[in-house]
Chains A and B, each alone.
Chain A
Amino acid sequence: MLENHLQSYDISCTSPSLNPFVRKWREQNRGVLGYLCNVPKEIIYAAGLLPFRLLGDTKPLKEAYAHFPSVFCHYSRSLVDLGIQGDFQHLDGIISINMCDTIVHLANAMQTSLDVPCFYFINRPHDNGVPAAHAFFRQEINKFKQFLETHTGKSITDLSLARSIRAYNQNRSLLKELYALRGEGDTPLLPGIAVNTIAYVSQVMPPDDNIQLLSGIIDDVCKQSKPTASKRPRIHISGSMLQDLSLISLVEKCGGIVVSDDLCSGLRLFWEQVNENGDPLDSLTDYYLNKMPCPAMHSKGIEEQRLADIIRLVRHYRADGVVFCLQKYCDTHQFDLPYLESCLKKEGIPVLNLEVDGAINPEQLRTRLQAFIEILS
């Protein structure tokens, strides 16, 4: 049963042209919008459209060079590459948001070089301590809602927003539960790779379908017999978008177990809930400004907060060491790294720093991972 459920989270679903839900929605004449990062997807879903996070892939690039310079991370360039090759032909539009410089430039590169019916850009402030930031972002979110209403010709009601928020909140709690089953006990009830793949692929699923699937998996896991306790070193993964999840398998092949992460394609997706009481747009404004920060934020004390978040997760999931997997050319993460690394070491938490650039090279990484895991043993 579990195996069957896990099969629904095939990594190929991250391509819009291969995703079965995209096919189904289009057959039913319902629209699909690709989006980046922290776009308030709840509004898209409330508009009756399928929000599909653009995740790119790890394959070598074919045509991106002619449209987007190679000073940006592989993640962003792979999206331009896929777009040029026609992978986004089933999308009705792409929604971007002001996060890091790369995302802003990716949005511009896609807008100028891809054949997609519409593009939209939301400005999100980067300092949630600025008093005017909330009001500004609220206006941007409202403007986005109006854009979607014009796009579909239908108004987005508070009720549909509340339903959408609720569905995504349920997704968040279920993913959190799944992370607990993996990382809170002495022995993971699921392999690290399975949990990270589920979280990753969840981003391209309709939330209501995903609730069914996630609930099924959690039931299956709870029913299965408990494995014997493991003494393998427990690893926390830190970074932005980790596209090549085989890194998680590699950690596990090298003798460790992945118990937690603070990836933007992992735990940062679901750690907090959107407030379900009160004005939905206010709640979304609060959530997307205040959620566990990525280093693109520049609020006062942001690095200290990120450090505290990582330490809290390391303690919560009882990790023995932290592996940073930073995308090459990801400046915002690179700027935080020396501070985080030295503070974690002072806390007695061993750190390994890996740079990733598209597909990982297991031969190159194996020795370093083995040595690191040996130290932790």
Chain B
Amino acid sequence: MGAKTEKAVRSLKITQEIYPIVKNFYMESWEAKKQNKLVCWAGVGDPRELFWAMDLVPVYPENFSATCGAKQISAPACAFAEAAGYSRDTCSYFRNTYGYMVNRDNLPEPPGGGMAHPDLLILAVNSCHTRPKWWRIMERHYNVPTFIFEAPTIPWDMRRDKIDSHYLEFVVTQMKDMVAFIEKHTGKKLDIKKLKEAVFWGDRASALIDEIYELRKAKPCPLGAEDMVTALFPIIVLRGAKVAADFYEKMLLEVKERVAKGEGVLPNEKHRLFIDNIPPWYTKGLYNYFHKYNAISVAESYTTNFCWQTRMDPERPFESLAMSTIANWLNISYMEKGETLLKTARDYQIHGAIFLVNKSCKVYTGSNTYLANLLRRELGIPTLVLEADQTDPRDYADAQVKLRIDAFMEMLA
């Protein structure tokens, strides 16, 4: 890797526990495979409660690539995909997974041994059309049963909590088709009690993380992006399992304690920032760099606004999961993103906002200019746009990025 990158320095105790959880998660999938359980490669944002309830062992290629990014080993895998003909402008999550799918033996050892081979491929398309292309490529490579379903995009005349009934019906119907698909391959019927239980735990984890986000409104802020984005792993990957709720229970306690003591990440917190886009996983230390200016990220669209968490009703599991599939940050209109961001900026008392140009995720980057213009126009909040891909470190120019941050922070001061 040519580019200079830095790992995050985290301030909470609980987030030190994440990496062992991640490693264990991948190791367990290999173990489950040995016990003849079905390993399913799925999309983040899928209705994962259904996977737990149906005894599948889900692993998530996107999360795998983010993990490789965070371990700073993604560059050679991305380069391999390019050598196979895939444009460098395509998603680096895809390129990293493709590299490991085709050329694993010649690449650095991934955490926990990486993803066990899939028996099934499942994907809910709920914003990005890169992923179904990617899943079809994996389908061709592994030749395993594949189920892809889609949620409509929410246009500007609807809102996350106010969508046409046929949108919801369309998703619920396809989700039930997915259940039939899984039943066919596991040979076991869905146990609705188990599903309700998973939805209960998913809702519990969601409620807890919501509470943690709320506590970040405190001054000084008890935890910054460097801890928060790391702590997303359980809600993204383990939502619906009790272990995720247990994690956030502990995390909430630690954060509450900090707030009660008036303890922040920074002893002299001066600037409160909002950061957009998927974290540049290979250099999460960038979040710490703001600390030099007594500045901290108190809210991020990838955490606070994304809706990895969703309040769900265990008595209406399908509708709840359908809503959770539809309502993510990347599937809503610019208008709704704008309204949400203005509220976040007010609620969290934000002084500056950072946007990333992330070529891998065009669906994240697309709203950059609209949102930045809106924050400046409506609230007079200064904004900065930086270039950083989510997992491919090769085009990341650390010195340039930091120079721009320096200039921005001096302007804020």
The interface of chain A, by Cβ under 8 A from chain B, is: 65-72, 98, 100-102, 104-105, 108-109, 111-113, 119, 121, 123, 125-127, 130-132, 135-136, 139-140, 143, 295-296, 298, 300, 302-303, 328-329, 331-332, 334-339, 341-342
Contacts and interface: CB of A to CB of B under 8 A. Distances in A.
B363 A105 contact: yes
Contact of A111 (B85, B91, B166, B335): B335
Nearest to A138: B166
Interface of B: 84-87, 89-91, 125, 127-130, 132-137, 139-140, 146, 148-150, 152-153, 155-157, 164, 166-167, 169-170, 173-174, 177, 333-335, 338, 357-359, 362-363, 365-370, 373
B174 A98 contact: no
Nearest to A64: B369
Contacts of B127: 101
Nearest to B149: A130
B132 A69 contact: no
Contact of A331 (B91, B125, B149, B164): B91
B334 A334 contact: no
A112 B366 CA distance: 12
A112 B370 contact: yes
Nearest to B156: A111
Contact of B174 (A123, A132, A341): A132
Which of A68, A112, A126 has most B Cβ within 10 Å?
Answer: A112
A112 B335 contact: yes
Given A69-B365, A126-B129, A338 B85 contact: yes
B156 A121 contact: yes
A335 B137 contact: yes
B334 A112 contact: yes
Contact of B155 (A105, A123, A295, A338): A123
B362 A336 contact: no
Contacts of A105: 362-363, 366-367
B366 A69 contact: yes
Contact of A98 (B153, B166, B368): B153
A136 B177 contact: no
A131 B137 CA distance: 23
Given A100-B129, A101-B130, 14 more contacts: A67-B369, A67-B373, A71-B365, A101-B366, A104-B153, A108-B335, A126-B132, A131-B173, A298-B129, A298-B150, A302-B136, A332-B133, A335-B137, A341-B85
Contacts of B166: 136, 139-140
A136 B152 CA distance: 10
Contacts of B365: 69, 71
A20 B237 CA distance: 57
Given A111-B334, A331-B90, A123 B153 contact: yes
Nearest to B176: A132
Contacts of B177: 130-132
A302 B139 CA distance: 12
B154 to A, nearest CB: 9
**9 tightest A-B CB contacts, nearest first:** A338-B85, A298-B132, A105-B366, A121-B155, A335-B133, A123-B152, A108-B334, A334-B87, A136-B170
B170 A98 contact: no
20 contacts: A66-B373, A67-B370, A69-B357, A72-B362, A101-B363, A109-B334, A109-B370, A111-B334, A112-B338, A121-B157, A123-B155, A127-B148, A132-B169, A298-B133, A300-B148, A335-B90, A335-B130, A335-B137, A338-B84, A339-B140
Contacts of A127: 132, 148-150
Nearest to B94: A335
Nearest to A301: B136
Contact of B366 (A108, A139, A298): A108
Among B146, B177, B363, the most chain A Cβ lie within 10 Å of the Cβ of: B363
A337 B85 contact: yes
Q: In the complex, which of the residues B91, B130, B338, B362 has the most CB atoms of chain A within 10 Å of its own CB atom?
A: B362
Nearest to A295: B133
B11 to A, nearest CB: 32
Nearest to B158: A121
B390 to A, nearest CB: 12
Nearest to A338: B85
Contacts of A100: 129
Contacts of B357: 69-71
Contacts of B334: 108-109, 111-112
Contacts of B137: 335, 339
B166 to A, nearest CB: 5
Contacts of A104: 153, 363
A335 B134 contact: yes
A18 to B, nearest CB: 28
Contact of A303 (B140, B164, B333, B366): B140
